[in-house]
Structure formats: structure tokens, C-alpha cells
Chain A
Amino acid sequence: MSGGHSTYTPSTGIEKWIDARLPLPRLVYDSFIAYPVPRNLNYAYTFGGILAIMLVSQILTGVVLAMHYASATSLAFDSVEKIMRDVNSGWLLRYMHANGASMFFVAVYIHIFRGLYYGSYKAPRELLWILGVIIYLLMMATAFMGYVLPWGQMSFWGATVITGFFTAFPIIGDPIQQLLLGGFAVDNPTLNRFFSLHYLLPFMIAGVVVLHVWALHVTGQTNPTGIEVKSKTDTVPFTPYATVKDGFAMVLFFILFAYFIFYMPNYLGHPDNYIPADSLKTPAHIVPEWYFLPFYAMLRAITFNIGPIDSKLGGVLTMFGSIAILFLVPWLDTSKVRSAVYRPWYKLFFWLFVADAILLGWLGSRPAEGVYVVMAQMATLYYFVFFLVIMPVLGLIETPKRLPNSITEAVLAKSKGGAVPAGATAAPETKG
């Protein structure tokens, strides 16, 4: 997949035979063994591998859960409980799947923030970034539909509220909602189609992941300095260097994952989802899963009409806009310097943005009343200002620190501990 020439040399007769017919071993060798990666990648760069393994984990547990799950409104809730009670290891597989979704989002958020911090979206990696945003969108759709399947109260009312977004659009809104639901309210047809799509989408994600990795291997990784690879000394071969580092990070991530599965399996869920869906009774507070909370907060922050747009449509547009804006990030950032390490002001605004996202998440879990609404409005404002004002303007006015000449220079300066080039101290992870 890499742009460079292949260094694979088949040694045995069988390898030569295969290579002449289907050079799959060559592809694997060039992509995952000889593929050069910058030598200064830190642990923030290990989340791509972690995400890949989480996708595999979700697909595997999902496939076996589907062997026991029944996607009919009269059976769904009980079939999930049968998995929890009677199916051998069923509780483990279901908790892996449910908490796996959360862990998937933990990893993807770190992955996205890492991209924003080190400027991974900047030319020539715009398509790589856009493919990533598409994966993120598909993940959100998959997670949302998966949450409906247990057919608890939160499943039902979450589905009702989220499909209700579309009714905000004039004229076309109601027909779109009916098309999505297959009826006038969330019911059996909805559950069945969500199950079908929930099974399908992960494979589509896997497909886009292949494109994402392909695009990555064409341009090569970025790195904490943001300087492109210039010579062979700037890189190390993927195996064993990156594989073992990724592997170590994966095992650490598994510890976190296992901690939730075995000791706090319901911590990230909502108790109301252990109550069977009741279409005549709404829970006191409808709260989405934690990974949607920032967007939920933005949805509810628009409590006022904006000209001809009423507050309902305004909220929906704000929420969709908050994700759509990610597609434009490569062109919103005007800075010539890629990495935040050399951009003191951007670094500050970046961390404020991280705090803002966390704050939005917390606000999303609060009832929409009183001071929370005002706070959500302020936080939403900053979310958009960060992308639409700070990114373009800062790139034009900020004076970046002096960049090292090459990755190797930055690394050597740091490891000698001597004349550290400005900013290189912030390159994380000095041990190893």
C-alpha cells in the first residue's frame, strides 16, 4: 500500500509461487512489516491499532450475540436476558459488547483529539482525515442502533427522540421519520431494520477502515514534530518497532476494558434500560449514551429562534453542524505549522476545546434547566468559535516556535538532553 517500492523478496518456492499469482504476502509485508514509521511516534499514536482491535472485538462478540438475540419487540428484551442468564458465557459476551462500544468511543475520541493536536488533517492528509470522520459517523449510527436492540426504556425513547430530529425539517421531516421508523412510532419494523443495519454497518466501517489505512500508507504517518519524513534515519520499520509499542498500548487498554467488563459492567449504561420498553411511559430523564452527550447538550442549547429557524430546527442543525464541521477542518486551519507542539497559542485553545467538549458531555447529562442551559450555550459557542474563528485566524497571526530541521534532529536533541530545540520538551513520552 505504500508509495515506495516493495522490498519483499520471496525466499521459498511456495512464496514465489503465491507471489506470482496473488501477492497478498507482499502486501502484508510492505504494509505491516517493512512499512516505515517515524521513530518519534508517542503513545497517542497507538490508538489507531487499538481501534482496529476494538472493531474486530465488537464484530466477533456481535456475531455470537446475534446467534441468541431475537429482533421482535415481544422477544427482544427477554432474549437479551436469556443471554445474560442462560447462555453459556453469555453475560461475558454481552458485557464485552456493551462496554466494548464505550471503549471504542474512548479510543476514537483520543484518536481524534490526537489528530487535532498534531495537525494530522493538514495537507496532504485531507482525505485520510475525511475518511476518519466518515468512520466516526458510521460508528455513531451503529452505536445508536445497537443501543435500541435490548428494547429497554432508554432504547425505545432514545430511538424516538433521535428519529424525532428529522421532524424538525419542514415539509420533508415527517415523511423522512416515517420512512426511518416504518410506521408512525418506534415499533417492530423499526427494531427489525435497526438490527439488520446494526449487523451491516460494522462491515461497512471495516471497509472504510481499509481505505483509511490505505490513505495513511500513501502519505505516511504524521509525528509529534509535524515535520515530514526526510531520510531513512527518520523512520523505523513497522515490525517490530511499532507492532510491539502498539501491542503494549493494546494490553494496557485491555486492562481498562476488562476492569469495566468484570467490575463495573453497568456503570456506563443507564439503569432504565433494564426496564422493558413501554410506549406509554417516558422515563423522567432521557439521556443518551455518554459518548453522545456533548452533541445532545448542543442540541438542547438552542432554546431560541434564529430568524426564520425555530429553536427545534436550530438545535438539530447545530448538532448536525457540529459533526459536519469536522469535514472542513483541513481547510479551516490556515497555519503553515502542523503540530501544536510548535504553536503555543493553538495549544492553549486546543486544551480549552478539550475541556469544552468534556463540559458539554457533562451538561448533556444534566436536566436542561436553569444555569445548565446558559452554560451549554456558552460551551456550544466556543465549540464553533474554535473551528470557525480560532483555527483560521490563529494560523495567520500566530508566531510559531522554531522547527527542528528533521525528525532525527528533534529526537537526538531530546535524547541527549542538551540543547533542546524550542518546544521539543512537549513531545510526550520520553521513556521507553
Chain B
Amino acid sequence: MKTILTGLATLGFGVMLTVGGALAQEQHSEAEPTHFPIEKPHQESWSFAGPFGTYDKGQLQRGLKVYKEVCSSCHSMKLVAFRSLEELGYTEDQVKALAAEYDIQDGPNADGEMFTRKGIPTDYFPSPFPNDAAAAASNGGAAPPDFSLIAKARAVERGFPTFIFDIFTQYAEAGPDYIHALLTGYDHTPPEGMEIPEGTHYNPYFIAGKSLAMPKPIDDGQVTYDDGSPETLDQYSRDVSAFLMWAAEPHLEARKRTGFRVMVFLVLFAGLVYLVKRRVWANVAH
């Protein structure tokens, strides 16, 4: 087994390294890039990264505020229910009050009519547009994506050999890194000669092209924080990225907590089974 594994590793890595090295030399035209994003996102530090990561509740609350006051005017979050906001540290009453800020369409009532009522905790975040076609029509043909899973649905390819190291460093924050990079990535000047289509905005961090339809959505001082956190674009981006990670993976903390217990058990159990195995085979040459 050991020989097989080392053989596998050496050969595989050897071949891939050679090839990877050769490919790194590939030329890209600055003005007309063909691979996106033009710039890879920076790796930020997140409280929920690593084997013992947990969400920073204050940060999630700030992120929610950014989502509510900025993003939610265009981006829906259909899969997140108000009731789950209790996980952000809000009390039941606070969640009720928060839900009641929204108007929810319900019905039909006994007369067969649809009606509007105040939101309750079991409702989901309402969409800013009645349907996808309306969302596309109001946004130059491209419907703004839903935000429920955006932090898991966007990840910039890491490339070889980083994607192998990622297994050992447990890098799983590509989504928030990307969102943060995108939000702070406006205001760059496109390289000489690059043509930016009308109505789009250059952003070297955008995953699917050189520019995107969304203009810079947020800037310094736009959202008021009441916990004294800096009201800067960078902080807003961090907070909303963390919030969107929570929205996409609400059970992350439970997952890592359970994981630690499972790992401890399995390692101890493996040790025991190994001892038993050694005892059983003690007098048999093999």
C-alpha cells in the first residue's frame, strides 16, 4: 500500500508539475483577456474559516443591515426565512418586528382576492421583483441573482497546485472572498485599449467577464452602524460577505462542531482497532 501510494503521488505530481509549469508561461493579452476573473480575489481572514470556525454574530447583524438597506433593492433571498434570523442573535420579538417591516403578498382570501399583509417570522424574504422576467426587464436584461446561496455558488478556480493545498488548509471561503473582492473591486481603470460595453462597469474581479451590469453598489458611509464598526466600503463588504455565507450555509457551526467530535472519536477508534489488529495478527507472519 505504501509503495502504491508513494508511487501514485510521485508520478502524478511529477507529471502535473511539469505541465503546470509549462502552462504558467501562457500569454494573456491585457486589453482583451479571455479568462476571467482578470484578477484573483485576495484571501481574507474570516471568523468562520478553519476547523473551529464560528460566525461572528455582530458581523452577521451588520451584514444583514447592509443586505436590507442596499442589496435587497435588487437581489432576492428567497430561501432564507425570517425565523432563521434568530441564529444571528436576535430575540423572537426582534425577529417578529423585523419581519413586520416587510409586506408579504398572501391569499387568496375567502373572496378569492390576493391581499397584502405584514410579514411574520415564518415568511421568507420577499423578492424585490414580482418575477424573474420583471427583474430582468428592470435591470437591462439580466436578472440580479438570488442571494440565498450566492456564497456557495461563486468560487474562482484556484488552479494547480493550490487546489491540492486547499484540502489540507481547509480553504472553503472562496465565495465570501469573491464577494468581498468584487464589492471592493470597482474604481479600477481598465487597461489601455480595453473596450467596456455600454451600460456595464469594469471590475477585474468579476468572474464572468471584464465588466458587469451592476454599478458600484455601495460606498463609504452609506450604511450606519450602531456598534461603532468602521463605516467603510471594506468593512461593509466583509460584513455582507459573512452574512451571505451564513445565508448559504446556516449550519456551518454545527457542522464543524459535530465534525470535531466525529474526528476525535474516529481517531481513537482507529487506534483501538489497530491494537486489536496487531494483537490478532501477532503470531502470524504475513
Q: Which residues of A contact B (CB under 8 A)?
A: 39-44, 78, 81, 84-85, 91-92, 95, 110, 113-114, 117, 236, 240-241, 244-245, 247-248, 251-252, 254-255, 258-259, 261-267, 271-272, 274-275, 284, 351-352, 354-355, 358-359, 362, 370-371, 375, 411-412, 414-415, 426, 428-429, 432
- Contact sample, A vs B, 30 pairs, CB 8 Å cutoff: A39-B285, A81-B149, A91-B251, A113-B4, A236-B284, A236-B286, A240-B280, A241-B281, A241-B284, A244-B273, A244-B277, A247-B277, A255-B263, A255-B270, A258-B262, A258-B263, A262-B256, A262-B263, A263-B170, A265-B172, A266-B152, A274-B153, A275-B145, A358-B15, A362-B16, A371-B22, A428-B3, A428-B4, A432-B281, A432-B286
Shortest A36–chain B CB gap in Å is: 13
Shortest beta-carbon distance, B73 to chain A, in Å? 21
Are the C-beta atoms of A263 and B172 separated by less than 8 Å?
Answer: yes
Known: A92-B255, A272-B153, A275-B149. 11 other contacts (CB 8 A): A39-B284, A81-B79, A248-B276, A255-B263, A255-B266, A264-B167, A271-B155, A274-B152, A354-B8, A358-B12, A428-B4
A375 to B280, CA, bound (A): 49
Inter-chain residue pair count (beta carbon < 8 A): 148
The residues of B that contact A267 with a CB separation of less than 8 Å are 166-167, 172
Residues of chain B within 8 A of A92, CB atoms compared: 255, 258
* Residues B166 and A117 in contact, CB atoms below 8 Å apart: no
Q: Is the CB of B155 within 8 A of A251?
A: no
Looking at the assembled complex, report how far the CB atom of B210 sits from the nearest CB atom of chain A, in whole angstroms: 13
Closest CB in chain B relative to A127 CB, distance in Å: 26
Query: Given known contacts A261-B259, A358-B12, is B281 in contact with A245 (CB within 8 Å)?
Result: yes
A284 touches B248 (CB 8 A): no
User: Closest 7 interchain pairs by CB?
Assistant: A262-B259, A274-B153, A43-B1, A355-B11, A415-B285, A271-B155, A358-B12
Q: Are A284 and B208 in contact (CB under 8 A)?
A: yes
Complex Cα distance A79/B35, Å? 34
Q: Name the interface residues of B226-263: CB closer than 8 Å to any CB of A.
A: 248, 250-251, 254-256, 258-260, 262-263
Task: Please indicate the chain A residues that have their CB under 8 angstroms from the CB of B274 in the complex.
Answer: 248
Per-residue contact bits, chain B 26-63, to A (CB 8 Å; 1 contact, 0 not) = 10000000001000000000000001000000000000
B interface, CB within 8 angstroms of A: 1-4, 7-8, 11-12, 14-16, 19, 22-23, 26, 36, 51, 79, 84, 145, 148-149, 152-155, 160, 166-167, 170, 172, 174-175, 208, 248, 250-251, 254-256, 258-260, 262-263, 266-267, 269-270, 273-274, 276-278, 280-281, 284-286
**A354 and B7: CB pair below 8 A?**
yes
Task: Check A264–B284 contact: CB distance below 8 A.
Answer: no
**Chain B's nearest CB lies how many Å from the CB of A358?**
4
In the complex, what distance in Å separates the CA atom of A371 from the CA atom of B23? 8
- Which of B12, B155, B174, B273 is close to A247, meaning CB atoms less than 8 Å apart? B273
Given that A39-B285, A354-B8, A358-B15 are known contacts, is A251 also in contact with B266, CB under 8 Å in the complex?
A: yes
Q: In the bound complex, what is the Cα–Cα distance between A415 and B281 (angstroms)? A: 13
Q: Complex Cα distance A344/B36, Å?
A: 46
Give chain B nearest CB distance to A361 CB in angstroms: 9
Task: Enumerate chain B residues within 8 angstroms of A412, measured Cβ to Cβ.
Answer: 285
A251–B22 alpha-carbon span in the complex (Å): 40
- Chain A residue at smallest Cβ distance from B282: A432
Q: Is the CB of B286 within 8 A of A248?
A: no
Partner of B79, one of A44, A85, A110, A262: A85
Nearest Cβ distance between residue A252 and chain B, in whole angstroms?
A: 6
Query: What CA separation (Å) do A91 and B255 show in the bound complex?
Result: 8
CB contact under 8 A between A258 and B266, given known A78-B79, A284-B208:
yes
In contact, B255 and A44 (Cβ under 8 angstroms): no
Which of B22, B149, B167, B284 has the largest number of chain A CB atoms within 10 A? B149
Interface-centre pick from A114, A271, A371, A411 (highest chain B CB count, 10 A) = A271
Contacts A85-B79, A263-B170, A358-B15 given; does A274 touch B149 at CB 8 Å: yes
Contact call B154/A271, Cβ cutoff below 8 A: yes
Complex Cα spacing A113 to B281, Å? 26
**Which residues of A lie under 8 Å from residue B273 when comparing CB positions?**
244, 247-248, 251
Contacts of B26 in A (CB 8 A): 370
Q: Which of A78, A110, A258, A359 contacts B259 (CB 8 A)?
A: A258
